[in-house]
Structure 1
Amino acid sequence: MTRVMIVDDDELVRVGLRVIVNGAPDLEVVAEGADGADVPPLVAKHRPDVVLMDVRMPKVDGLQATKHLLATSANPPHIIVVTTFENDDYVYDALRAGASGFLLKRARPEEVVEAIRVVARGDSLLFPAAIRRLAAARSPGLKLAAKLTEREAEILRLMANGLSNAEIAAQLVLGLETVKTHVGNVLSKLGARDRTQAVIAAYESGFVSPGSSP
């Protein structure tokens, strides 16, 4: 059973998400908060696996709460930021801070459930088109932390186009474990917490062009 915490200042949103999450046989809501300030004590008490975090809240917003949680917790939960608009700067900054992905508040129930399952497995929610739009609105500011090998660079470009490890393995005719090793090396060299951070670094550094097509 995957333990989920919901943080949103809108009670109706919390109720809707609670119904969706608790309607899945493998998910359960273990805690709810109305502001980012509620996050640290609730996480310490209930130990959720995944947090659905609203971006804009009155006291402590989702970005601040995400940064604090990931910086202070030895084993932090996976965070999915929830937003009204996918081009919200707060979303981009939360992804850079270490959130595993984002959901739009208009997402269908099955999309919410699948997103939770994906990040609970340790994967990241990648939306290449949305990340390209977000990156295009920002000035390049990051440089790659280290030079990648030719194979690692090839794999990073495929990651930026949203391919999973299995899809990369099939396209490059490599073993799945080999791809996992290369992905791990890419994350390590870029100082990235997960695939999302690696992809953002690739776009911001100009390694991958925001206008490029999958």
Structure 2
Amino acid sequence: MLDNPTLWSILSVAFGAAPQKPNGRVIHIFLERSQTTPLIVHMRLPSTLPSRKIIRHPAFQALIRDAPRWKMLRLIGDPRILRKDHPMRAVESLPKLEVLSLENMESETVTDFQVIPMPNLCRLIVITPRERIAVQSNFPWTQLTSMRLHGLHNVPSLVQLCPNLIELGLILSSELGEALPNHPVVIRHKRMRLLSLWFVKDPNMPKVKKKLLDMLEFPFDYFCCPVL
């Protein structure tokens, strides 16, 4: 059973101040035993850690050698490795990446800079409860078919950037309601079929939900409002 490459294809790595963590040898064993299986990588990169230390770390070097195999990347903290113009750029491209999850970004958002090529990216997850992502970049919005957002994002603008979007998931909050545009705007989307809304019990939620739905018009097949 342990010789099944799929069992070794999920890696979780947290870089920190301690030089011995993560263990480069352990990462190498996982990569070797996963053979050619597509990888799911969970990586924590604190913005306080210098890029030089990260790039020289044996665990990071082992991971980026197999970056062409990354199928999903969950990036917690600083998204600097996605920068196309980063002076110490280590990853040239992510040719097989399909899912990108960005959580609790500590410095700049991924769309504030030129990103490396990700030709197969189709699903984006952004969890930044107190921040919003910018939209002026070369980020491959037109490739996305699925997007899940939690934060103070301009949802109508992001939906408009994604003509091939089929599924949109949103975590609603009172702060999101305040971040949405106040002027009347209706985004008509021809392809989106599923809108999923998650929200906590809050007296302001009906107003937030109505404000959002008044801005979006699409031929949905299914509408879901689960309660957290």
- Above 0.5 in TM-score? no
- Structure having the higher helix fraction is 1
What TM-score do the two structures reach when normalised by structure 1?
0.35
Higher relative contact order structure (alpha carbons within 8 Å, sequence separation ≥ 6): 1
State the structure with more CA Rg.
Answer: 2
- Structure having the higher strand fraction is 2
